[in-house]
């Protein structure tokens, strides 16, 4: 069969489509964005009528996917690792409600924080919720897991997590497709109380979940993704999880000298791990992310056989793995590292030339000059780059929406002025509820919604409240006289500075909206228009 050249993220999308998915729900976030974008491809959307529009945030996405599952259809929700924090309430409880149609929760972790605030390991969430986790070691396996994942979820009657990392998501390779499965029919759950987590009912559901554990382990034991490969040298046994298996095999293309247990489905099959442990003298655990399995196998007092990994210093405690790090842990001679020539200067990312955020920050820095440094709480998006030179204009970036609420807390503590900088899409993701808190107390804060009419950092996805931000702010209760819209442009610099200074001195909630389209999406629209004319 003809191979398709796909990113890992796209392979998951294709696998889910072929596996009979009826809808995908997501909010964009690196490295997960390309999954949903692939399903949104106009040609595919036309052919298969799969629901794929972006959601306001990961929580609304998770809940909508659960609703589709309730209705008997196969649904997938996708997010980056920190997005699962946003969706956690719905996520944890979906393990207890169980599913009707197959439900896949695809979470893309970002070890080494290439494009994130932390490197949390989502496998802990899967363990926390007590559901099975699939962790592909390569892109073909990612396709297969998405394809079979719905069926697994239906068999085990719980949502299944599909955990990937940046390298798997953003690496392209040839993928072999399987036969397309039909989508499920609309079917209500047999028990119409299944999804009611009233305490008396929730206790029963939770008991069912806990009692299903042996079934999940048996599924892992039988799983084709968990495989044992014997090796002649029993002095060491290697447990290789997910993509770490590839970094191991890079050094043993013709088979490993040591016995290897490849783990790509959790919970770990206890019996098989026990058999494996008995065969070897010591264990080495290779896992991308936190030392979850290593900690489990080593035990608190480390009384059993030696277990090596990230905790005992055999591998670095933080950051992603790579073939060099794994090779060194296996005792391979690592070539002496050549330095990057001194002449090479760092080239950090920066706001694009012509970006409206630049003009907003230029004005903000001038307007704040008389008050000194330390007044600006920012958020997640391109404008976080305002932290770097030449602007160095912000003092926080924590989580989606935290700019407004942190500014509120600081104002409560007496900081004046207290300024929030947030983007349009981040505002509708998680900023609106914080604004309501501020309005409820009329907290003196100035919120700058730097509006570029798109979700820019992740590649220009539509912003849900395009051109409705003023109405939303007014509806939440901000005094219309203190909702001020301006075009962030060099020629409006003085106007913006004046506007900001006025609002800093207002003793209540004010919102300034510098609005100008992202120059990247603008350029793309122009290109598409030109291409369209040629056709």
Partner 1 sequence: MKKDIIISGVGGQGILSISAIIGMAALEAGLNIKQSEVHGMSQRGGDVQANLRISSDTIYSDLISHKSADLILSVEPMEALRYIPFLSPDGWIVTNITPYKNIPDYPDEEALFAELKKHKNHVLVDADRIAKECGTARAGNIVMLGAAAPFLDIPYDMLEFGIKKIFGCKGEDIVNINLKAFKAGMEVSEQVLAGK
Positions in the binding site for partner 1 (CB under 8 A): 3, 5, 7, 30-31, 33-34, 114-115, 167-168, 170-174, 243, 245-250, 253, 322-324, 327, 334-335, 337-341, 343-353, 382, 385, 457-459, 531, 534
- Report which of 165, 197, 179 is spatially closest to residue 66, judged by C-alpha positions: 197
Q: Do 138 and 173 form a contact (C-beta atoms < 8 A)?
A: yes
Nearer to partner 1, 253 or 414 (CB): 253
Q: Least distance from C-beta 535 to partner 1, angstroms?
A: 8
Nearer to partner 1, 128 or 332 (CB): 332
DSSP H or E stretch at residue 105: strand 103-109
Q: Do 352 and 519 form a contact (C-beta atoms < 8 A)?
A: yes
Nearer to partner 1, 471 or 528 (CB): 528
Nearer to partner 1, 45 or 485 (CB): 45
Q: Least distance from C-beta 430 to partner 1, angstroms?
A: 19
Sign of CA pseudo-dihedral 134, 136, 137, 143: positive
Give dist(CA 452, CA 468) in Å, integer: 13
Nearer to partner 1, 318 or 334 (CB): 334
Q: Least distance from C-beta 314 to partner 1, angstroms?
A: 18
Per DSSP, 292 falls in state: H
Q: Least distance from C-beta 449 to partner 1, angstroms?
A: 20
Give dist(CA 461, CA 489) in Å, integer: 23
| Bridge partners, 486 (sequence order) | 514
Nearer to partner 1, 87 or 321 (CB): 321
Q: Least distance from C-beta 324 to partner 1, angstroms?
A: 5
Query: Which residues contact residue 174 at a Cβ distance below 8 angstroms, ignoring those fewer than 6 apart?
Result: 3, 4, 5
Strands 376-377, 282-286: parallel, antiparallel or unpaired by DSSP?
Answer: unpaired
Nearer to partner 1, 81 or 501 (CB): 81
Q: Do 256 and 238 form a contact (C-beta atoms < 8 A)?
A: yes
Q: Least distance from C-beta 241 to partner 1, angstroms?
A: 15
Nearer to partner 1, 299 or 390 (CB): 390
Q: Do 332 and 251 form a contact (C-beta atoms < 8 A)?
A: yes
Q: Which residue carries 């696998």 as its tokens? A: 15
Distance from CA of residue 41 to its chain's centroid?
21
Q: What SS3 state is found at 8?
A: helix
Which tokens belong to 13? 């999308």
Per DSSP, 429 falls in state: I
Q: Least distance from C-beta 166 to partner 1, angstroms?
A: 8
Q: Least distance from C-beta 3 to partner 1, angstroms?
A: 6
Give dist(CA 364, CA 371) in Å, integer: 11
Q: Least distance from C-beta 387 to partner 1, angstroms?
A: 12
Q: Least distance from C-beta 390 to partner 1, angstroms?
A: 8
Distance from CA of residue 313 to its chain's centroid?
28
Give dist(CA 499, CA 501) in Å, integer: 6
Nearer to partner 1, 382 or 402 (CB): 382
Nearer to partner 1, 259 or 444 (CB): 259
C-alpha to C-alpha distances, 90 to 65, 105, 159, nearest whole angstrom: 10, 11, 12
């Amino acid at each position: 069969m003809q191979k398709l050249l796909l990113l890992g993220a796209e392979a998951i999308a294709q696998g889910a489509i072929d596996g009979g998915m009826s809808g995908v729900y997501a909010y964009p976030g690196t490295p997960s964005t390309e999954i949903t974008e692939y399903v949104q491809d106009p040609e595919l959307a036309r052919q298969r009528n799969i629901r794929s529009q972006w959601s306001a945030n990961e929580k609304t996405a998770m809940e909508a996917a659960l609703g589709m599952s309730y209705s008997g259809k196969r649904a997938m929700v996708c997010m980056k690792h920190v997005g699962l924090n946003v969706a956690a309430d719905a996520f944890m409880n979906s393990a207890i409600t169980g599913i009707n149609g197959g439900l896949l929760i695809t979470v893309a972790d970002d070890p080494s924080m290439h494009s994130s605030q932390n490197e949390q390991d989502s496998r802990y969430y899967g363990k926390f919720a007590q559901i099975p986790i699939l962790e592909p070691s390569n892109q073909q396996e990612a396709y297969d897991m998405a394809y079979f994942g719905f069926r697994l979820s239906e068999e085990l009657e719980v949502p299944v997590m599909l955990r990937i990392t940046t390298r798997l998501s953003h690496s392209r390779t040839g993928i072999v497709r399987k036969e397309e499965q039909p989508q499920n029919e609309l079917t209500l759950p047999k028990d119409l109380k299944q999804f009611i987590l009233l305490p008396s009912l929730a206790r029963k559901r939770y008991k069912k979940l806990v009692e299903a554990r042996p079934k999940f382990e048996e599924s892992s034991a039988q799983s084709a993704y968990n495989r044992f490969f014997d090796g002649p040298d029993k002095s060491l046994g290697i447990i290789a999880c997910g993509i770490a298996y590839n970094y191991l095999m890079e050094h043993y293309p013709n088979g490993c000298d040591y016995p290897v247990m490849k783990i790509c489905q959790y919970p770990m099959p206890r019996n098989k791990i026990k058999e494996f442990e008995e065969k070897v003298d010591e264990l080495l655990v290779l896992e991308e992310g936190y030392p979850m399995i290593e900690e489990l196998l080593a035990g608190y007092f480390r009384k059993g056989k030696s277990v090596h990994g990230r905790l005992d210093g055999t591998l670095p405690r933080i950051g992603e793995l790579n073939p060099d790090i794994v090779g060194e842990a296996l005792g391979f001679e690592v070539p002496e590292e050549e330095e990057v020539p001194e002449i090479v200067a760092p080239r950090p990312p920066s706001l694009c030339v012509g970006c409206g955020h630049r003009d907003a920050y230029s004005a903000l820095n001038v307007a704040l000059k008389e008050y000194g440094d330390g007044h600006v709480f920012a958020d997640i998006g391109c404008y976080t780059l305002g932290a770097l030179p030449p602007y160095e204009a912000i003092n926080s970036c924590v989580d989606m929406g935290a700019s407004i609420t942190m500014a509120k807390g600081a104002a409560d503590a007496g900081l004046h002025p207290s300024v929030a900088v947030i983007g349009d899409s981040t505002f509708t993701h998680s900023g609106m509820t914080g604004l309501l808190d501020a309005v409820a107390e009329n907290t003196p804060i100035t919120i700058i919604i730097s509006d570029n009419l798109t979700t820019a950092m992740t590649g220009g996805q539509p912003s849900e409240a395009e051109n409705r931000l003023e109405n939303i702010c007014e509806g939440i209760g901000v005094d219309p006289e203190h909702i001020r819209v301006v075009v962030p442009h060099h020629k409006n610099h003085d106007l913006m500075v004046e506007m900001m200074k006025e609002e800093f001195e207002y003793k209540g909630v004010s919102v300034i909206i510098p609005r100008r389209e992202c120059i990247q999406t603008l350029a793309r629209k122009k290109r598409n228009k030109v291409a369209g004319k040629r056709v």
